[in-house]
Amino acid sequence: MANIKQQKKRDLTNEKRRVKNSQVKSTIRTAAKKVGKIADMKDNKDAAVIQESYQAFIKIIDTAAGKGVIKKSTAARKKSRLAKKVNSAVAALTKTA
């Protein structure tokens, strides 16, 4: 632990930011898993549910990228990869319908 007063303050601030960023990253991972699980379900008959969960994921990850929790390119990459999965699931639903 530092002896300098300002460094002690910075340590407290950094810890708060670390905890908050960790929570946001966890939320991103959970949302991505949720969308992936919904897209992979074989008995899913509604493309709107898949799109809705994907839109919720987009909102979460864009907010995190805007606040600097993750880099913008990382957000774009995650969105792109999940979009591929969502689009193929929706295409499979429309093909069978």
* Residue 19 confidence class, pLDDT cut points 50, 70, 90: very high
Please say whether the structural domain 5-96 has been given the CATH code 3.10.20.340. Answer: no
Confidence band of 63 (pLDDT split at 50, 70, 90) = very high
Indicate the SS3 state at residue 83: helix
- Kindly state the average pLDDT of the residues 2-18: 95
Cβ neighbour number for residue 41 with a 10 Å cutoff: 12
Q: What is the mean pLDDT of residues 58-74?
A: 97
pLDDT at 52 over 90: yes
What is the structure's pLDDT at 46?
A: 84
* Segment 83-92 long-range contacts (CB within 8 Å, at least 24 positions apart): 83/54, 85/35, 85/36, 85/39, 85/40, 86/35, 86/39, 86/50, 86/51, 86/54, 88/39, 89/39, 89/40, 89/44, 89/47, 89/50, 90/47, 90/50, 90/51
Q: Is residue 97 scored above 70 in pLDDT?
A: no
- The tokens describing 81, both together, are 């990869």
Do residues 76 and 62 lie in contact, with contact meaning Cβ atoms separated by under 8 Å? Answer: no
Residues present in the chain in total = 97
Domain borders along the chain are: 5-96
